Amino acid sequence: MKILLIHGPNLQLLGRRQPTIYGTADLATINQGLRRLAAARGASLTIVQSNHEGDIVGLIGASKDRYDAVVINPAAYTHTSVAIRDAIEASGVPTIEVHLSNIYAREPFRQHSVIAPVCRGQVCGFGPESYRLGLEAALGLAAPQVPAARRAARKGRRMGG
């Protein structure tokens, strides 16, 4: 299982940037926890932070056939970037949108995500925990599906059948 995690603009400042909104954990600490979780699940996790819309579009464009799922905090681009939205839609790679803050409880311009409609789901409002929940969701989407017949056989064995 291969997961790509993208941190958008200004997230390199986490820990120092408006800690009452975004918390005190820095990006390196958050990434460390996510790497640990991915390793425990036998997944490979690639993490990139970029302040540039075009770089993010390029990463997503190259994600098809390379990654099983993408987790993205598009940061300010959440509210403006049709280019990132189109890249996600075109890639066809299942994508989870993540935010530290609850964007729906903030300024009106933050309450709309142009990205959300092309994502499989969105996690927001839980601080760094949003990333963990987003990664869990991505691991679930990326996991090879166990065929129903094998699942039923396993259940039968557990029940002594």
Point out which span in 42-50, 80-88, 93-101, 147-155 binds ligand DQA (CB under 6 A). 93-101
| Cα 10 from chain centre | 17
Q: Which of 69, 84, 88, 100 binds ligand DQA (CB under 6 A)?
A: 100
Six token digits for residue 86: 């189109």
H-helix or E-strand spanning residue 39 = helix 27-40
Q: Does residue 75 sit in helix, strand or coil?
A: helix
Beta carbon of residue 44, minimum distance to ligand DQA (angstroms, whole number): 24
Question: What are the backbone dihedrals phi and psi of residue 15, each rounded to the nearest 5 degrees, phi first?
Answer: 100, -35
Single-letter code of the amino acid located at 95: T
User: Which one is catalytic: 22, 67, 77, 131?
Assistant: 22
Q: How many residues bind ligand DQA (CB under 6 A)?
A: 10
Q: Which of 68, 85, 87, 99 binds ligand DQA (CB under 6 A)?
A: 99
Q: Output 68 or 119, the one with its CB closest to ligand DQA.
A: 119
Q: Is 99 a catalytic residue?
A: yes
Q: Does residue 65 sit in helix, strand or coil?
A: coil
Q: Is 77 a catalytic residue?
A: no
Is-contact 72 118, C-beta < 8 A? no
User: Residue numbers of the site for ligand DQA (CB under 6 A)?
Assistant: 10, 73, 75-76, 78, 99-101, 103, 110
